[in-house]
Amino acid sequence: MNAEKIDVTGLNDDGITWTLLATLYLRAWESRAERPILGDHHAAEALDRIDYDFATLERRLRPRSNQFLVALRARRLDDWSAAFLARHPDATVLQLGCGLDSRMLRLDPPAPARWFDLDVPKVIDLRRRLYPERDRYRMIGASVTDPDWLRQVPADRPTLIIAEGLLPYLPGGDVRRLLQRLTDHFPSGELLFDGMAPWVTRMIKVFHWGVRDGREIERWNPRLRCVAQVSFGAGYERIPVRRYRLVYRLGNGIPTWRRMSQLFRFAF
């Protein structure tokens, strides 16, 4: 990484900064734990390079408790991604709405795998200053709902598509069209994403699309087959702090709590 401090105030005009830095901050915080779940030291290094009022961010985020939600989700997706790459070392990986996530660095896929990260141009401009492109790693600056960017991603290999913290923010029609474009473009692979229950999207207006069960998606996109569906709190045994581990264990026994946010793995 480069050494100079990076000013992110230019992103404030469209509300991107909070979404970008909140997740990055929680991952960086969690990486400093004695027994981290994710251990994303790349996030900690990136955070040290950004010029921002993190004291205010910390007061809003309450990272002592909220770090575990982000870490468990990312770890599950990392594990699924690593398993796919072990089966397909020549895969193409496409991460949608990548933000400042360091998954490519965390997984460090071997040659000849290639990796594409996509987000809106402002985010990619910032990302390039933190995580420079290199051999077999490219960034694409475009809206995920714009169909034209997909032409930049070759469709000649098994493809892993990751959409962490993205689909719930899109209208339902956009989600359907996006998934259809992806399965039309790529011949085979897997799709990993997180989704909110519909009742959560009705309560929290920043979310627009909800899903109860993977079979709903199978019905409107027959190419997608749900092979795993787990609660956001699955893997709570990894939480190193006893009181929070107990909260997650108790919550995981309540169906409404367990299903309010889930992680999905689809094959196509």
Domains defined for the chain, CATH in brackets: 67-267 (3.40.50.150)
- Under the banding of pLDDT at 50, 70 and 90, the label for residue 13 is low
pTM greater than 0.85 (yes/no): yes
- Reading phi first (left if > 0) and then psi (alpha if -120 to 50, else beta), residue 136 is in left
The per-residue pLDDT for range 164-176, each reduced to its tens digit, is 999 999 999 999 9
The distance of Cα 117 from the centroid of its chain, to the nearest Å, equals: 11
Q: What is the largest CA-CA distance in the chain?
A: 50
pLDDT confidence of residue 131: 93
C-alpha–C-alpha distance, residues 259 and 196, integer Å: 8
Of 150 and 16, more confident: 150
Q: Is the pLDDT of residue 42 over 90?
A: yes
What one-letter code names the amino acid at 71? A
